[in-house]
Structure 1
């Protein structure tokens, strides 16, 4: 049956035409065959990093449920106190480490907690103009960047997640909704913030840089709808937090309309009252790298007679394992980013879909 006469029809959108054609053929081949597809979320299903943008939003709006003592504990948890490497020095070339940065962050947080977070003594606009806020913001971003650069991506992930501890799952979801809505409306691209030149503290003056903003990828949402409409289940496996991805992937205001029980992401342990605590939930895999493949093996493939996914989509090293692990995978969709997954470009199963870095939109050209 030709694609023209079949019931499979992806929106033209900004797909590379060849990629769209091959995806339509794949859906036609496997429609109603008890098959499934698996996708990453950040920079694959959407443009941007959902977890990082929540981290940014928390800082900008001081959305924390931690008293100063607990906050001080969380920002140091499991992080080595050894000096950072040459890339992470202050403006005068001074060597930095966790202790210097955390001491300054903690001192600023005490002020922010007493004057805004717990009391709202002054307005958010006023608190943002304080030297304490400026120092807190820049040093949080600097430390956030230093963790994967000096230690590991895994440690950096958990550090971000622990900042949500103290919230109930519903509170975390409400915060996620606020953050996503806000960041969808902001410009995308790098933002640089400098710490206070007055409250220099132990770490001195530093600059923090972060990649701001989110965008919905309508082509990916349409792909998911078409897969589901043709009896092919769609799963998301993400290295962001479960509550966050559940909101973005299932809330109808964003248009992806995926099923909550098919979202697998990072999870923290909770109290009996559903309050998140600063401990990873080891009942689930750590959904980065091999942990993504482990999730498919432990929780998904047995529902499909032991078969692997027919289609896997990803954008970075954290997705490589699930992109290449399963012999049943007929197509791997690579949402290409500069310097990422170059080793898979020549895989005979690979569809390479480029994007416009400035706009976040897909690029139909084949470079």
Structure 2
């Protein structure tokens, strides 16, 4: 045989061996293989969204991805006739910080009100009992504060601001108004009053009261203001703010101090999870204890990346007048979306369209979410964004700690660096102002 013929035979045999290897590999290849970043192909060649690992705690990531594998469109437990769904809390779960609280402060800073002084004087007392606040609510001299005293000071301040600010009935620009002691006193005492109501009467009174100040605005006006508020909060640093009212404006209340956390951050891992759920035909809803138009402005706007349909966003609601303007009155017959009110809303507004089924997944961070984590027996997995809660929800977090590393946990934890507003790949959290990661609130140890 000539050398040329021998080479041809060798080439032919090599080609046959390679073809056999390719056929063998194709037969043994699993039904799914990675075809592009973040996606798998099923046996039909359909692209399947896979959760990005981001900064997930590894065990938490695995549990969430397993849920998607089981209940997503290509999973063995998927029901195409009644698609599963997931429910997310918003504040400090889907973002870092509280959008309604930041909106309340932004509204103060912008003096964005459509209230006359007489209307303001009525709104500020709505649903709040007369008399002293709880024993812990005191001025800087240790004196107890009453609703009557602090509202007299605030009405005095608001009347001045109303008559001097060019955005209301005056002619002075906002920058000049901000320098006045009347504005400083107004801002600090109004936020102090909100904290006093929350401390004394709880969220049931405080949360609706905080949003009553949008009275006489339309939903469109609130939404536009909320977008501006969100942009502002996303641009400023996450810091603790401590303010004390001017001595010259002590009035009947005296001098008071307030503290709050400024700044806000998006949660890209939550956004990615929402999109991954939707890509796998798991419907996504938001149920928040925040004001619905304010939450919707960030959850549904393409600008912020979550892209939740507006009719899938639920939060606190107010009544409207004949001109479609908000009234300072909580919507009659509508669930108060806090604690047990959240599962009430899920059953009455969402599950009713899902054959009465509970969500397969919930996400939350605080006592506001306690009802979802204890009353929705049909959930398969509950994600706790770990802000070291105490109280009832702290007990739920403790159950998650006990299940860490075990197969098929009911609850899982995800840690956050509260200084940056970003997740960290751990179940533990780094508290604001510290550099130490902590797994549970000290009260639970």
TM-score grouping bracket, smaller chain normalisation = over 0.9
Partner of 1:343: 395
Q: Any gaps of 5 or more consecutive residues in structure 1?
A: none
**Are the aligned partners of 1:308 and 1:326 in contact in 2 as well (CA < 8 Å)?**
yes
Partner of 1:63: 112
Aligned equivalents of 1:2, 1:277: Cα separation in 2: 57
Match of 1:125 among 155, 175, 184: 175
Match of 1:203 among 253, 259, 275: 253
Deviations 1:267-317 (A, max 9, x none): 101112210001111232111111100111111112222211000000011
Is the alpha carbon distance of 1:170 and 1:366 closer, same or farther for their aligned partners in structure 2, counting shifts above 3 Å?
closer
Q: What does 1:27-42 correspond to in 2, within 5 Å? A: 27-32=68-73, 33=79, 34-42=83-91
Match of 1:15 among 56, 72, 91: 56
CA positional deviation for 1:65: 0.7
Q: Any gaps of 5 or more consecutive residues in structure 2?
A: 1-29, 35-39, 41-47, 74-78, 401-408, 429-445
Deviations 1:175-215 (A, max 9, x none): 10110011110111321111121121100111122221111
Partner of 1:293: 343
Partner of 1:85: 134
**Are the aligned partners of 1:115 and 1:122 in contact in 2 as well (CA < 8 Å)?**
yes
**Are the aligned partners of 1:3 and 1:25 in contact in 2 as well (CA < 8 Å)?**
no
Is the alpha carbon distance of 1:105 and 1:3 closer, same or farther for their aligned partners in structure 2, counting shifts above 3 Å?
farther
CA positional deviation for 1:120: 4.5
Aligned equivalents of 2:267, 2:172: Cα separation in 1: 39
CA positional deviation for 1:40: 0.3
Aligned equivalents of 2:388, 2:65: Cα separation in 1: 26
The SS at the match of 2:288 is strand
Name the TM-score, length of structure 2 as normaliser: 0.80
Aligned equivalents of 2:139, 2:358: Cα separation in 1: 48
In angstroms, what is the RMSD of aligned CA positions? 1.5
Aligned equivalents of 2:149, 2:31: Cα separation in 1: 65
Name the TM-score, length of structure 1 as normaliser: 0.97
The SS at the match of 1:198 is helix
User: Which structure has the bigger radius of gyration?
Assistant: 2
Aligned equivalents of 2:237, 2:388: Cα separation in 1: 20
Number of residue equivalences: 367
